[in-house]
Amino acid sequence: MIPAIDLKAGMTFVQDGKLIRVLSADHHKPGKGNTVMRMKLKDVRSGATYETTFRPEEKFEQAIIETKPVQYLYSQDDLAVFMDTETYEQYEIPVSLIENELKYLLENNEAKIDFYGNEVIGIELPTTVVLKVIETQPSIKGATVTGSGKPATMETGLVVNVPDFINVGDDLEINTQEGTYSKRAK
């Protein structure tokens, strides 16, 4: 059991049979009254996010999450198929569970699958990925990095805002945590 005051962003715990991931946790001491923990939480299975408060001494069962390195193979119908890079075992994950993450993955890309017991609860992406621009407005001559930018559609369907000098066919490094353009890939 872990007290609420020790819960940090990224940790997962069990509450009322639900698997809950902490997105943010703040220690809050109002002018009067007791200290509380303000938390933004996500129900791992349903994807719902919500904010709540706990007393610092409230205890929760910490969920043991196992992570395995995998390679993304392909998506077919409503399933995404991954292969364990150590045992070559294949895992089928419903696309609806990882729809957002799939926008950053090409076939054969590396990722990690999170397990709670035998249940797949999600995937972890690398911090950055390289994707090719398939659609954007033509570049503007004399455009600088400081311009407001333009939308670009990547080969996976992801749309990111990029500087005006980016062209169709450019390989870009994309930050997967923020969904933003980082730089041109070398």
Q: Are residues 51 and 77 in the same domain?
A: no
Torsion of CA 53, 55, 61, 66, to 10 degrees: 50
Residues 139 and 111 in one domain: no
Is the domain of 86 the same as that of 134?
no
Are the C-beta atoms of residues 154 and 140 closer than 8 Å to each other? no
**If we measure between CA atoms, which residue out of 12, 1, 7, 2 comes closest to residue 38?**
7
**What span, in angstroms and rounded, lies between the C-alpha atoms of 105 and 63?**
27
Q: What is the pLDDT of residue 176?
A: 86
What sign has the CA pseudo-torsion 107, 183, 123, 47?
A: negative
Q: What is the pLDDT of residue 144?
A: 56
Query: Would you state the pLDDT for residue 146?
Result: 57
Joined together, the tokens standing for residue 182 give 């980082």
Please determine, for residue 102, whether its predicted confidence score (pLDDT) is greater than 60.
yes
When pLDDT is averaged across residues 153-171 and rounded to a whole number, the result is 88
From 27, 62, 97, give the residue that closes a domain.
Answer: 62
pLDDT tens per residue, range 54-86: 888 889 998 888 889 999 999 888 898 999 988
| Domain stop point among 21, 46, 62 | 62
The residue count of the chain comes to 186
Q: How many domains does the chain have?
A: 3
- The residue out of 17, 43, 62 marking a domain boundary is 62
Give the pLDDT score at 83: 93
Q: Give the pairing type, strands 59-62 and 65-76.
A: unpaired
Q: Tell me if the pTM is above 0.75.
A: no
Q: CB of 139 within 8 A of CB of 165?
A: yes
Interval 106-149: pLDDT, tens: 888 899 998 888 888 888 888 889 999 998 887 666 555 556 78
Using a pLDDT cut of 70, give the percent of the chain over it: 95
Identify the band that residue 93 occupies on the pLDDT scale cut at 50, 70 and 90. confident
Greater pLDDT, 145 or 27: 27
For residue 4, the SS3 value is: helix
The parent domain of residue 22 ranges over 2-62
Quote the tokens at residue 75: 């998506």
Per the listing, tokens 């569970």 go with: 97
Average per-residue pLDDT for the chain: 85
* CATH value at residue 110: 2.40.50.140
pLDDT at 82: 92
Q: What is the pLDDT of residue 73?
A: 92
- The contacts found for 86-90 with CB under 8 angstroms, 24 or more apart, are none
* Radius of gyration from C-alpha coordinates of the chain: 20
What is the C-alpha to C-alpha distance for residues 173 and 184, in angstroms, rounded to an integer?
Answer: 6
